[in-house]
Amino acid sequence: MKIFGQHDEKTIAQFEQVRANAVDAALMADGHVGYVMPIGGVAAYRDQLSVVSIGFDIACGNAAIRTDMTVADLGADPERVRKALAGIADEIADTVSFGIGLRNESKDAPVNDPLFDDPAWDAVPEKYRKGLRVKARQQLGTVGSGNHYVDLFADGHDTLWVGVHFGSRGFGHTVASGFLALGQGKEWTARVPEREVLLDLNAPIGHDYWHLMNLAGRYAYVGREWVARKVVSLLGARELELVHNHHNFAWREQHGGEDVIVVRKGATPAFPGQKGFIGGSMGDDAVIVQGVDAGASGDADLMATQRAALYSTVHGAGRVMSRTQAAGKRNRRTGKQLSSGLVTPEMMKGWLAEKGVILRGGGLDESPHAYRRLPDVLAAQEQTVEVLHTLRPLVVAMAGPNEFDPYKD
């Protein structure tokens, strides 16, 4: 068992409960309280997995594309660059669907992707299969709300990058909810408590969930790549490199000479040489990282630390305030503010202005004040990953501040 960084008592208590049922476990430095398993948690099982630990947003993850454009291509002076970035921000907001259960209205939406013919669909109860497939087609390539985003970045050479963060939308949420209910002996559509139920992959229920989880992974990959490439096309740029990974998922891996199922909940795979894209917040830098090859240098201590981490790292900066603590409480039906939070509009606007970030959408619950600083959590990962590129945000596009999204992680 390995814990990176500092965490509150509730997060540690959740982690201890998960660890008790696992072969091995680790907690990343961006960890905080989640549903049963803390965000930032990693757990290994023998031919089992936990539906609630993977979470309702199956295959939530990040994708980043390095383009062939630079900031200089946007204009000859700062004023023209700023004007061009504002126009790009508007185009992203107008083209990409952000918010609750929206459809992808683009003519080139990937509604005919081969994933819709995958035999794994047969694992959905027949009564609900057609409706779920229709919803999945409609939502493929939509971003949702909460902490999900589309960003435009510049690296240290002023090269432009496009980054996105979201998951499998209503499709993954329905699969997770359905198997959480089935695992507790209820019907597919029953609402049940968020409890850890370990599914045996050799039993029909575990077999079916595994194949639908992997289908949700394909779905999320297709959606993220479509959105990222759509933004690249809006820029008039060309794709040079793609960095893409899930951070709410389960994989078959070998650790300690044993074949296990590794569940990562808000944690990024980081095997030696493996790249990952990790966001900070709407007003902080993001990074492209790579798992360190400690074997090449013969650093036995670092190799041991990587093994203890189950070859994982952070997926973001990690929250220090809940959404309610940051933004206060609002009536979801009327939009009326019922109580104020710790972050004011002036605080958020001031931070973004200082960083030069153009924001479309977003709310106080996603303000940089609600998050740790990414360099701090990366430092707490004990040199298991190296930063290849630091990406400063130029444009951030998110759902509006009053959106409630049942499909977010």
For 27-51, the pLDDT digits (tens) are 999 999 998 999 999 999 999 999 9
Within the chain, which residues score under 50 in pLDDT? 405-409
Q: What is the CA radius of gyration of the chain?
A: 21
Global pTM exceeds 0.85 = yes
User: E strand or H helix at 367, and its extent?
Assistant: none
Q: How far apart are CA 104 and CA 223, in angstroms?
A: 10
Q: What is the pLDDT of residue 342?
A: 96
Q: Tokens representing 331?
A: 């009536």
pLDDT, one tens digit per residue, over 307-361 is 999 999 999 999 999 999 999 987 767 667 788 899 999 999 999 999 999 999 9
Q: What is the pLDDT of residue 326?
A: 95
- 40 and 267 Cβ atoms separated by less than 8 Å: yes
Q: What is the pLDDT of residue 409?
A: 45
DSSP state at residue 309: T
pLDDT, one tens digit per residue, over 206-220 is 999 999 999 999 999
41 burial via Cβ count (<10 Å: 0-12, 13-18, 19+): buried
Q: Tokens representing 75?
A: 């204009």
Q: Dihedral of the CA atoms 175, 180, 184, 189 (nearest 10)?
A: -50
Q: How far apart are CA 219 and CA 136, in angstroms?
A: 9
**Cross-strand bridge partners of residue 277:** 288
The full set of domains in the chain, from first to last, is 2-397 (3.90.1860.10)
Q: In degrees, to the nearest 5, what angle opens at C-alpha 363 toward C-alphas 158 and 268?
A: 60
